[in-house]
Structure 1
Amino acid sequence: MSTTTTRSIPFFAPDLFDADRDALLEAVHATGTATAQKFILGERTERLEHALRDRLAASDVVACSSGTSALTLILAAMEIGPGDEVVVPAFGCAPLASTVIGCGARPVFADVDPAALTMDPDAAEAAVTANTRALMPAHVFSVMADMPRFRDLATRRGLRLVEDSALAQGGTLGGRPAGLWGDAGVYSFVQVKTFGMPGEGGVVITGDTELATRVRMLRNHGQDGVHRFLHHRVGSTSRFDEVMAGFQLYRLDGLDARLARRAEISTYYSTRFAPLAEAGITAPPVGGDGRCHYVYTLLAERRDELRAHLAAHGVDTHVYYPRTLPAQPAFAPHAPPGAHWPNAESAARRNISLPLYPHLDDGQVEHIADTVCAFADSADRRRTDR
């Protein structure tokens, strides 16, 4: 890392697409002036689906309106509904629970691994009942869930496996890309994701061609794409924008370089933070299989103090999930009264995320790491003085 410095580092970069403004304007112009006047689900969307399918060696990729919508479409295509249960992590983003509830099923919350923060396979298996139809593990921050164990569990218990890989594009585990371990997976393209764009969007990834056919119909009111106003299923509106498809096709060539820069920054952070465990700060491991460098998250015993210290030194941070899903007012009615998920509750109390985006320069990255280490050093001194 070099030694250039800065003292004001936002968590959500306001200039993510500054270098791509001309390409975005060109995508708007090309779409708006094309003879076909096709603004959704046109040839650019089809080319993006094919490009991602070939990149992943997937059977099919279906573009839709968001990562959340992608999960909803998968559950609908699997005909999961009233009377069914889906096992989900107790710690994570709202769509893990809301998409299940939205289809009329019940989310059953399982505790997470204390280090990886992804759903614990043993806890998930303990949560399986006669009404369980599916497992929905999620990759979290920068670590993939233990998908080989979930794949085995789903096979043994006759369950569908829905892989919430919304944030994990670019991650691989055992040589298999994130999104291809389940019966179906998803990616989100909301702007801060690894393949983000200036709008909403996502895809369903699957090796099941029959499931993909159902998803394609469901995203467009149950139509088959050939016969307009012939509705085979009760569907919804979850279509992809042609301007964004053109923009994503342009940005796809640079994705590997952006992912590599994220990995480089993550490795630097983890190397610097590895000695800080005694100061109550736990960092993700350096590199390794099953990493996806979307968000860099620490677990800190004095999280709020660390956050204030970083803010005082010009570093913006973010706490993604300050509550467990069962503790959210929207989802609490679906959780057993008085139940606890200790690892999820600990993660909600301790997690803090640092800036991680490809155009952070070396000086900014060093400043962030130096500031965290300085906080840990002061904690060590206080402990020694007692």
Structure 2
Amino acid sequence: MTTATAERIPFFPSDLFEGDREALLDTVHAIGTGADQKFILGERTAGLERALREGLGADDVVACSSGTSALTLVLTAMDVGPGDEVVVPAFGCAPLAATAANRGARPVFADIDPLALTADPAAAEALITERTKALMPAHMFSVMADMPGFRALADRYGLRLVEDSAVAQGGTLRGRPAGRWGDAGVYSFVQVKTFGMPGEGGAVVTDDRALAADVRMLRNHGQDGVHRFRHHRVGYNSRFDEVMAAFQLHRLAGLPGRLARRAEIGAYYSERFASLADQGIVAPPVGGDGRCHYVYAVLAERREALVDHLAAHGVDSHVYYPRTLPEQPAFAHYAADGVRPLHAESAARRNLALPLYPHLSDAQVEHIADTVCAFARSQDRDR
């Protein structure tokens, strides 16, 4: 890392796809003027599914309209419904609870590991009842959940395991890719994700061929793809866009390089911040197994002051999930009386994400790290 910069560094950059502008325009033109006028679920979608399937070593990949839709399709294919319970993390994005609730099931909120910020298998096990149908851990920020622990837990209790890997495409744990630990895993391709695109999209990954066949039907109104207007199940409109499929195929070869750059930046941050815990800033560890590099988040005791300090030095930051899921008005009535997920509440109060995207320059990354470290030193002076 070299010299610092004084320019404003956005958290959500507007130029994520600038280098692919011509390819995107060419793709839109080719598909828009193509003789077959096929805009959804065509050969390009099939090609993307095949490329992902082969890269992951999975039996099947089904592209769909979003990561949230992917979760919905999986839970529907598993016949999760009224009377069932799904154990989900107490800290995370709304779809973890909403997809279960929209199926008529009850989301049950497990507390998280205080450092990994992912659901704690021991906390999840304590919540299993005779109504539990599935476990749905989620990878968070830059750390994969304890999938070996959840896999063992699901097997021990005879439960379905849904791996929310929306943020973790490209991560691996014990040599197994994110998305390949559960009965099904899901990815999200929304713009800011590690394999993001200029639109909405997602995918279901599974080795369960019967489950994959159901998901494939459900994404297209319950049709089997052979007989149009024959609806085997009550399904959804979760079809994948051909323009986006072609664009993702174009960008797939560059994904490892982009992930490597994210990992490099994350490692640099963690090296710089490793000694700041006594100043109230806890950083993710450097390296290690089971890492993904979607968002780089620290835990800051004086979060709002750090936000202001970063902004004063031209650095945008972002707070994810300032409330736990059981604290959200939409899900509060599912929360167990008198039970508080204390680690999740602490994460909601302290987490702060710093810019992390592949085209950050070394100078920008150093400036961000310098600014955080300067804030930490100021905390020492104020004591």
Q: TM-score, normalised by structure 1?
A: 0.98
Structure 1 gaps of 5+ residues are none
Which residue matches 1:122?
122
Matches within 5 A, 1:83-102: 83-102=83-102
Q: 1:31, 1:243 within 8 Å by CA — same for their partners in 2?
A: yes
CA contact (8 A) 2:49 2:62 kept: yes
3-state secondary structure, aligned to 2:369: helix
In structure 1, distance between residues paired with 2:4 and 2:25: 33
Residue 265 of structure 2 aligns to a residue whose secondary structure is: helix
Give the Å deviation of 1:7: 2.4
Question: CA-to-partner distance for each residue in 1:345-372, whole Å, 9 max, x for gaps?
Answer: 0000000000000000000000000000
* Map of 2:267 onto structure 1: 267
Which residue of structure 1 aligns with residue 351 of structure 2?
351
Partner in structure 2 of residue 280 of structure 1: 280
CA–CA distance in structure 2, aligned partners of residues 336 and 297 of structure 1: 28
Matches within 5 A, 1:133-144: 133-144=133-144
Alignment partner, residue 362 of structure 2: 362
The percent of aligned pairs where both chains have the same amino acid is 75
1-side partners of 2:301 and 2:58: how far apart?
41
Letter in 1 for 2:10: P
1:34: how far off? 1.3
Structure 1 residue 3 displacement after superposition: 1.6
Q: Which runs of 4+ in 1 moved over 6 A?
A: none
Whole-angstrom distance in 1 between the partners of 2:37 and 2:363:
46
Q: Tell me, yes or no, if the aligned pair for 2:77 and 2:211 is still in contact at 8 Å.
A: yes
In the TM superposition, 1:197-346 aligns within 5 A as 197-346=197-346
Distance in structure 2 (CA, Å) of the matches to 1:203 and 1:138: 15
CA contact (8 A) 2:223 2:229 kept: yes
Please say if residues 6 and 313 of structure 2, whose CA atoms lie closer than 8 Å, have aligned partners that are also in contact: no
Matched AA of 1:106: R
Contact 1:6 1:363 (8 Å CA) reproduced: no
8 Å CA contact retained: 2:4, 2:367 = no
Shift of 1:2: 2.1
Amino acid at match of 1:185: G
After TM superposition, give the deviation of residue 287 of structure 1 in Å.
1.0
Determine whether 1:60 maps to 2:55: no
Q: What is the SS of the residue equivalent to 2:348?
A: helix
* Structure 1 position 288, deviation (Å): 1.0
Give the 3-state SS of the residue equivalent to 1:215 in structure 2.
helix
- Aligned counterparts of 1:2 and 1:314: Cα–Cα separation in 2: 18
Q: CA deviation at 1:337?
A: 2.9
| SS of corresponding position for 1:246 | helix
CA distance in 1, matches of 2:295, 2:115: 15
Give the CA RMSD over aligned residues.
0.7
AA matched with 1:5: T
Secondary structure of 1:107's aligned partner: strand
The 1-side partners of 2:117 and 2:255 are apart by: 26
Deviations 1:6-52 (A, max 9, x none): 42000001100111110101110111111111100000000000000
8 Å CA contact 2:112–2:120 kept in 1: the answer is: yes
Distance, in Å, in 1 between the alignment partners of 2:231 and 2:124 is 37
Q: Distance in 2 between the 1:125 and 1:179 partners?
A: 21
SS of structure 1 residue aligned to 2:326: coil
User: Counterpart of 1:230 in structure 2: which amino acid?
Assistant: R
In structure 2, the residue corresponding to 1:127 is in which secondary structure?
coil
What corresponds to 1:149 in structure 2?
A: 149
Aligned amino acid, residue 61 of structure 1: V
TM-fit CA distance, 1:339: 2.2
1:138-177 Cα offsets, whole Å, 9 max, x none, are 0000000000000000000000000000000000000000
AA of the residue aligned to 1:174: R
SS at match of 1:326: helix
Q: How many residue pairs end up in the alignment?
A: 383
CA distance in 1, matches of 2:337, 2:27: 52
Secondary structure of 1:19's counterpart equals helix
Q: Which moved more, 1:100-109 or 1:26-35?
A: 26-35
CA positional deviation for 1:4: 5.1
1:57-114 deviations in Å (ceiling 9; x for gaps) = 1110000000000000000000000000000000000000000000010000010000
Q: Secondary structure at the match of 2:276?
A: helix
Aligned to 2:44: 44
Q: What is the Cα deviation at residue 303 of structure 1?
A: 0.7
CA distance in 1 between counterparts of 2:336 and 2:152 reads 27
Query: What one-letter code is carried by the residue in structure 2 that aligns with 1:293?
Result: H
More moved, 264-273 vs 336-345: 336-345
Which aligned pairs between 1:161-176 and structure 2 lie closer than 5 A?
161-176=161-176
